Amino acid sequence: MPDFMPNRDFKMWTDTPIAERGPPPYSPPANRIYNTSGGPVDGKINVHLVSHTHDDTGWLYTVDQYFYKEVYYIIDTVVMRLLEDSNRRFIYVEVGFFARWWDEQPDSKRDQVRSLVSSGQLEFVNGGWCMHDEASPYYVEMIDQTTRGHQFLKKEFGITAKPKGTWQIDPFGHSNTNAWLIAANSEMEYEFWGRMDRPDFEMRALEKRLEWIWQGSQSLGDSAQIFAGQIFDKAGMGYGGWLMFDSNKNLQVQDDPTRHDYNVDYWVDTVVAEALLQSQSFKTDHQMWACGEDFNYQNAIHWYHNLDKLIHYVNQNTSINIFYSTPSVYVEQKKKANITWEVRKDDIFPLMEGDGHAFWSGYFTSRPSLKRQVRVASNFLNAARQLEVLSKVPVSKISQLTTRPSPRVGSSWTDSLEGTVGLATHHDGMSGTERQNVANDYAQRISESQHEVEQGVGLSFNVLLGNASYTFEHCNCNKANGADCLNITMCPITTNSPAFTVVAWNPTAQPATHFIHLPVKNPTWQVTTGSQGPVPSQVVEIDERTLELPLYYLNRFLMTKGEVERHRERMRNNATHVLSFEMVIPPLGYATYTATSEGVKAAAAVLQRRKATENFSISNELYRVDFDAANGVTSKITNLKSGASTDLSIKVAWYNSSVGGCTKSDEVQWELRCALQASGAYMFRPNSSELFYPGPAATPTLNLVEGSEMTEVYQVFSDWATVVYRLYKNESFLEVEWTVGPIPEETPWFPQANPKHPNYWGKEVVVQYQTSLQTDKTFYTDANGKEMVKRVRNARGPSYPPFVVTEPVAGNYYPVNSMVAVDDGEVEFAVVTDVSQGGGSIYDGEIELMVHRRLQHDDSRGVQEPLNETMCGCNDIRAVPDHTGADGHEGDGGCWCDGLVVRGKHFVLFGGMDAVNTDRRKVAEKANFPPTLAFSQSVFSTPASAAFMAPLPPQLKLLTLTSNYAEISSNQLLLRITHLYATGESSTLSVPVTVNLASIFSKPLLKLATIQETQLTAYTALSQQTKWATYDPVGAEPEYEIFNQPHRLNVTDMTVTIRPAEVKTFLVTFE
């Protein structure tokens, strides 16, 4: 018996001697046409067979490799088999794959597919460009990729293809934001998945609570509910069900009694027994069986021929009713059950699997550079969309078109970048759980598409500035070897020009101030803007750590020493200094700044870096930060306005990755400490709770640069772990810029465990913030950049079973997309991030964020490759799909490269809770949606200009403004506005706000003419959503006001009221 079959001890007809058998229990129909008709039947157990495939848009292979090897044949053969029998059904998720297939079909095949969609045989669920991850993306990326898929469906199929629900079967955890925003606000009624926390699954399966009403938003309450549940399979860690007919390797349904392997009676009895078993875990007489797994149905007849037989024969047994169905049909029957459902408000992070040592919390940080690239590209995309709307530059003007474009959906020069960013939000994309060559493919696609958009941005600036002669260059990190990476102080145009102009576009709806740091070649510079004269600025020499970063990109494979030196010389940063100044930019507008090193009259202040030998402090208008020179670390932070202060130690440290064995911790019962689970791309499992110094034991060094606009402290822990602290004039945060890598594979400063082998230790690197606040085990993390979620160390939310500690660090890590905070009831310490990371509060008053990982072992979840990234993008070229490389150490297989170096920023806020809560949202906007910059060697001065007549209220964000889908929506543009704050977050800003859009959008380039409110993805106008009868088993009173009642747009005067956390979507035209 195959291991996927339930182990049932049934007596089969063929077990009886031939002479004693009698007639077979089931015989095939005389005409061999099986009765596949059917539907729900009252009074019986109804089994909904849902035919599906799960197609990763990149994992072990790239998206295009998967498409041509597997997915093309899935869609093609499914369409053929659906056309054979009108009772058969199929659901499909990944529109990014479907669009590739669609582009290759003749009109006749397309018409057939349209008929299948219209009849409901082929149904799109999710309908996004991919099945996105729920831990890594910002809500902006989640919305964009879902919208792209929905707009393709709208374009090709109209209203009949609008997805009715979400099918998030493979992501490794589930966020509240995905439930209430992506699902409910898109007017999708359900969300099903295949993975959930094992103890939670076991409790709920016993109590018939595997399905519930998910009310994910604290702010919007029951106005954003969906029906949610776990597919019954493999203790909450799978999504294929026990049925498997994908190939001739699987046991088939044999109904010919003249054959020796006749087994249809066994199949019928097994199906009935399994249905009776599953009925014990569900509240109604309806259960859903997922029929399919990864890349199934490449020869769809294997599935449909067997399912046809099961439906035909099982329905002859009167105890259950089985039929082809979809999740939408299934949920309709749940509605009709007329019962009261549990309402649940907790999210589903982190997942715990197996014996308690497999926590899916490593991928919260895995592949940090790709996570960062997606975040940066997403902001650039949205700025470019705005510029395109205002400039009206057509795609026909773009000469640098993407060489490998995404399947086209819209008509803009931003369309391909939209597709590549959307593709990378896949749950094996920016999650970091794909193979190295696939990660490289995601990154390359984004960079290629950005070149096209960079040209469009330059042309747009020409239009807005009124001068077509300007030539613009960009430093967005899209060239080889980091040659234009501004975050490592590489920008050829600013380095090699005696004078240049910066044009800065502010994509936000409020005025923005932003300090920029530009590489230049000498210390004498002057910055001016408009008619205001010189702008205060500072110049300092580039530090050695930063200068060495581009040299790490070199692959030294088979190079001589002389060749290495020649290549390093070509890659070297030619800049000598950093020029820093503050830009002030109007809302949805631009400002220009000119920097010159010739004829300077009011030069920037040239600052010197000096080593700190005594205790010192740095300060601005809001903060004073004290440093302990003897120990080389921070010691205290004080809010100068409120007077609040706390001890503060900021350190870079690392956990030793487990390769399997016993977790060293007094918090874990002895019998629960040991397991084979290793830390890997998916899983985080340290050997112990001990944090190690990043290198041989030493005292970090501190160097100080003091200026009137900005003060910096350079901290060096080791040659691979450094930090720069910055306090800016008039800013409400302490900037902490960390640089980590190359993380050494070996650990020579510790004694060798085995004299015959080097100390290859996996290292999970964190930035730790230790305060003296008494926080009672409690901390808060954001959900995809939206509402904050309360976390309690060594516990789960109130709807979970009691938590048993097995991994005291990994089990307390959660995704942090933009901020994490602790408080003592009066004062708060918060850290805002510029990229998604794993983090937690392992000790009272502490916050730690994992910023980088370099591992030596795979975690046995299918990727078969250690997470061992290098600056060259290679790992071990002998590691091919289905085979693990020799060991993945650098130097193997032609990869003689340094380990990956990652640089990022944290923004620390401290003070009274209400003040910090208010400011942290503003800082998150500054960190994640900075100005888009373009550089020109032309020297010009143009007055700053805004597209808005007035800024939006401070709690509102301009989320989307794009013309990409105008041709799909009768030449209407897509506009989104969101409330930045959640209920109870700010005493002044966490309230509904009413805005007259006609008064905001009233300038000539952006004068509002018509407006229509739609659901989230602009597929249809708003409609009435299902209200479920619910009860709350937790019964806790809400801490803050819930805004259950939505407010519709007043079309007459174009005013709209937006509730806390809410996203409003419109289709608009401008005069």
pLDDT at 1025: 82
Q: Does the pLDDT of residue 888 top 70, yes or no?
A: no
Q: What is the mean pLDDT of residues 813-838?
A: 97
Per-residue pLDDT tens digits for 674-694: 888 999 999 999 999 999 999
First to last CA, the chain: 70
Q: How sure is the predictor about 883, in pLDDT bands with cuts at 50, 70 and 90?
A: very low
pLDDT at 234: 55
The one-letter amino acid code at 337 reads A
Q: Does the pLDDT of residue 877 top 50, yes or no?
A: no
pLDDT at 8: 63
Q: How sure is the predictor about 5, in pLDDT bands with cuts at 50, 70 and 90?
A: low
pLDDT at 237: 53
Q: Which of 594-608, 771-785, 823-837, 869-883 has the lowest mean pLDDT?
A: 869-883
Whole-number average pLDDT of the chain: 92
Q: What is the mean pLDDT of residues 985-994?
A: 96
Per-residue pLDDT tens digits for 158-195: 999 999 999 999 999 999 999 999 988 899 999 999 99
Q: How sure is the predictor about 876, in pLDDT bands with cuts at 50, 70 and 90?
A: low
Per-residue pLDDT tens digits for 293-331: 999 999 999 999 999 999 999 999 878 999 999 999 999
Q: How sure is the predictor about 499, in pLDDT bands with cuts at 50, 70 and 90?
A: very high
Q: How sure is the predictor about 400, in pLDDT bands with cuts at 50, 70 and 90?
A: confident
Whole-angstrom Cα distance, residue 264 to residue 400?
61
pLDDT at 14: 87
Q: What is the mean pLDDT of residues 391-401?
A: 92
pLDDT at 238: 62
| CB neighbour list of residue 162: distance below 8 Å, 6 or more residues apart | 127, 150, 153, 154, 187, 1019, 1020
Whether the model clears a pTM of 0.85, i.e. scores above it, the answer is yes
Closest to 784 in 3D by CA, of 93, 94, 133, 128:
133
- Residues of the chain with pLDDT > 70: what percent? 97
The sign of the dihedral angle between the CA atoms of 428, 431, 434, 439 is: positive
Neighbours of 249 (CB within 10 A): 9
Per-residue pLDDT tens digits for 504-544: 999 999 999 999 999 999 999 999 998 678 899 999 999 99
Q: Does the pLDDT of residue 372 top 80, yes or no?
A: yes
Per-residue pLDDT tens digits for 245-296: 988 777 899 999 999 899 999 999 999 999 999 999 999 999 999 999 999 9
> Do 310 and 271 touch, CB atoms closer than 8 A?
yes
pLDDT at 1: 40
pLDDT at 7: 61
Q: Does the pLDDT of residue 873 top 90, yes or no?
A: no
User: SS3 breakdown of the chain: % helix, strand, coil, rounded to 5?
Assistant: 25, 25, 50
Q: Does the pLDDT of residue 892 top 70, yes or no?
A: no
Q: Does the pLDDT of residue 889 top 60, yes or no?
A: no
pLDDT at 702: 97
pLDDT at 228: 96
Closest to 718 in 3D by CA, of 678, 749, 675:
749
Q: What is the mean pLDDT of residues 346-370?
A: 94
Which two three-digit tokens encode residue 348? 């589903």
Which two three-digit tokens encode residue 813? 């890590």
Q: What is the mean pLDDT of residues 377-394?
A: 96
Q: What is the mean pLDDT of residues 229-256?
A: 79
Per-residue pLDDT tens digits for 464-481: 999 989 999 999 999 888
